[in-house]
Amino acid sequence: MVSAAEVKKYGAKIGLDIVGVTSADPFPEYVKIVQNRIKNRLVPIESQEAEDIFKRLNFYSEPEKSLLLARSVLSLGMRFFMNGNADATRPGVPCGRIGRHYWRFLRRVMEKTSEIS
């Protein structure tokens, strides 16, 4: 079994800025937090992908529903440069969205993370 410390160390090695590890237990506050962010326009909901995610909030708040054998959940993050100040309250202004060219890079990172599972 791989420890949380080993996962975090490996994440840093492959270029991740943030690596979090938690149990696969339900996240009871997740739905409320996301709904509050939507209400305060802190989450862009213009895309079909985002709408699909919001429709399934309850499903995502209980990892054992989608990750049947999971014992842990990893949360991975990378910083990326953005000109100016981020302001999610202005519709149409990019704020924290990842461009398609970054997805290719992230996919490679995710493939590397599968090595530790």
The CA distances from residue 81 to 41, 62, 86, 103, in Å, are 22, 32, 11, 15
Residue 30: per-residue pLDDT: 86
Q: What pTM value is reported for the model?
A: 0.56
Indicate the domain borders of the chain: 1-24+71-117, 26-68
pLDDT digits (tens, 9 = 90+) for 80-99: 655 556 666 776 665 555 55
Is the Cα torsion angle 27, 32, 38, 40 positive or negative in sign?
Answer: negative
Residue 50: per-residue pLDDT: 66
pLDDT digits (tens, 9 = 90+) for 34-47: 888 777 766 666 66
Distant-in-sequence, close-in-space partners of 97: CB < 8 Å, separation ≥ 6: 44
Euclidean distance between CA atoms 58 and 27, whole angstroms:
9
Residue 88: per-residue pLDDT: 64
pLDDT category of residue 66 using cuts at 50, 70 and 90: confident
Euclidean distance between CA atoms 82 and 72, whole angstroms:
32
Q: How many CB atoms lie within 10 A of CB 63?
A: 19
